Amino acid sequence: MSRRYLFTSESVTEGHPDKICDQISDTILDTLLAHDPTSRVAAEVVVNTGLVLITGEITSKAKVNYIDLARQKIAEIGYTGEDNGFSTNSCAVLIALDAQSPDIAQGVDAAKEARDQTSDEALDAIGAGDQGIMFGFACNETPELMPLPISLAHRISRKLAVVRKTGQLSYLRPDGKTQVSVLYENNRPIGIDTILVSTQHAPTIGDISDDAAVQQKIKADLWDIVVQPIFADIDIKPDKNTRFLVNPTGKFVVGGPQGDAGLTGRKIIVDTYGGYSRHGGGAFSGKDPTKVDRSAAYACRYVAKNIVAAGLADKCEVQLSYAIGVARPTSIMLETFGTGKIDDDQLLELVQQHFELRPAGIIQTFNLRNLPAERGGRFYQDVAAYGHFGRTDLDLPWEQTDKVAVLKEALAQPLSAARS
């Protein structure tokens, strides 16, 4: 029986209060790892009107100026003038940091001498930094193997930032949210039902000061300059039945930290799959790679994406779980939702044979400690806005599909032979 339904995902711009916090947290992480790759970091940030609070637990040999890092990132995002109600030049930046708990650290510190070794004994000696569950997902709805709703929502959010920073729509301000509802039939996207954009803006545009006229101008500009261009390479496009909503309350002048307080790690669904896949609950930003909330979630995406890229399933979800201080996952789950070309149990065997899922192995596979230094002092901060997955604008190691050939080769022979 044919079934139609709507699925909706949202994104936020880099000027959203929660995303400001994520980006400052990951800027701190980048800087610490660039100077000391063994840094243990759990950086949390709070923003409110005129205030930035940096807190959490950090153990590092690096010496950094946290206040300068916060102000530089705030300026890069676009909060440089007092007309935003929050400015890099006038906000107070407070620091309240502790060292990592020794009881937590001992689970990862058990074998420091084995950190860069690749033997089974060395990788087994370094346990997970905490317990937890992580999910990864991929599907063939888009070229980047992401669900279409979150892919579109991120595209619109990124485009909002681009046209603001280039001055093409100079009246836009940094805060904003997007939301896209996609029509599905038989589990495949077939249309765009609703596009919602809420964007902070100046109170007037040129000589236009009437609120209704301002909103009419914004809506027309966003449709022509932001929305339509992001569908250029997508087969499914808005049509005459697509609703387009802009600033539904009538205006959005007061935004950013002046409008709402922000917290690190409060946009975990925006960071991942837009609700299309399950989520383990752990945030990413501000956490060094020993935190499996982050590194193992990247590994889950890597596994799922390679399976879909290899044509072994149309959709794939992977779950891992860990115990603190224990290297090997306590469980591995794989689900293809009836789209697998072979049995899910066979796919799981292939995963266990061909993917390294111990925390130290994940860190080595993706080079997670050294990438900030190798990329000029910034890596994690660039995924702190507009999603950690499906990023075609960034060279992310967990987005590589370098396991496709080995999966196809293993599939061509009996698993017992591949295992031997």
Per the annotation, the verdict on 389 as an active-site residue is: no
Per the annotation, the verdict on 408 as an active-site residue is: no
Q: What share of the chain is helix, strand, coil (3-state, %, to 5)?
A: 35, 20, 40
Per the annotation, the verdict on 128 as an active-site residue is: no
- Determine the Cα angle at 100 with ends 99 and 105, to 5°: 145
How many C-beta neighbours within 10 Å does residue 100 have? 21
Question: Which among 40, 154, 173, 177 is annotated as catalytic?
Answer: 177
Going by their DSSP bridges, the two strands 132-139 and 51-59 should be labelled as unpaired
**β partners of residue 52:** 47, 93
Per the annotation, the verdict on 315 as an active-site residue is: no
Q: Enter the DSSP assignment of 226.
A: I
Q: Enter the DSSP assignment of 182.
A: E
3-state secondary structure (DSSP) of residue 192: strand
Per the annotation, the verdict on 403 as an active-site residue is: no
Question: Which among 135, 137, 252, 355 is annotated as catalytic?
Answer: 252
Per the annotation, the verdict on 76 as an active-site residue is: no
Per the annotation, the verdict on 261 as an active-site residue is: yes
Q: Enter the DSSP assignment of 15.
A: T
d(CA 249, CA 198): 9
Per the annotation, the verdict on 267 as an active-site residue is: yes
Concatenated DSSP letters of 48-66: ETTEEEEEEEEE-S----H
**β partners of residue 98:** 57
Per the annotation, the verdict on 341 as an active-site residue is: no
Per the annotation, the verdict on 130 as an active-site residue is: no
Going by their DSSP bridges, the two strands 243-246 and 262-263 should be labelled as unpaired
Question: Which among 10, 18, 314, 335 is annotated as catalytic?
Answer: 18
Max distance between CA atoms of the chain, in angstroms, equals: 75
Residues 6+ apart with CB under 8 A from 123: 114, 117, 327, 356, 358, 360, 361
Contact at 8 Å (CB) between 317 and 135?
A: yes
Question: Which among 71, 73, 159, 267 is annotated as catalytic?
Answer: 267
Contact at 8 Å (CB) between 387 and 270?
A: yes
Question: Which among 19, 73, 315, 403 is annotated as catalytic?
Answer: 19
Per the annotation, the verdict on 18 as an active-site residue is: yes
Contact at 8 Å (CB) between 189 and 183?
A: yes
Tokens 């994940």 — which residue?
A: 362
Per the annotation, the verdict on 82 as an active-site residue is: no
d(CA 418, CA 420): 6
Question: Which among 40, 155, 159, 291 is annotated as catalytic?
Answer: 291
Question: Which among 266, 305, 315, 391 is annotated as catalytic?
Answer: 266
d(CA 290, CA 58): 13
Active-site residues, by number, are 16, 18-19, 44, 57, 177, 252, 260-261, 266-267, 287, 291, 293
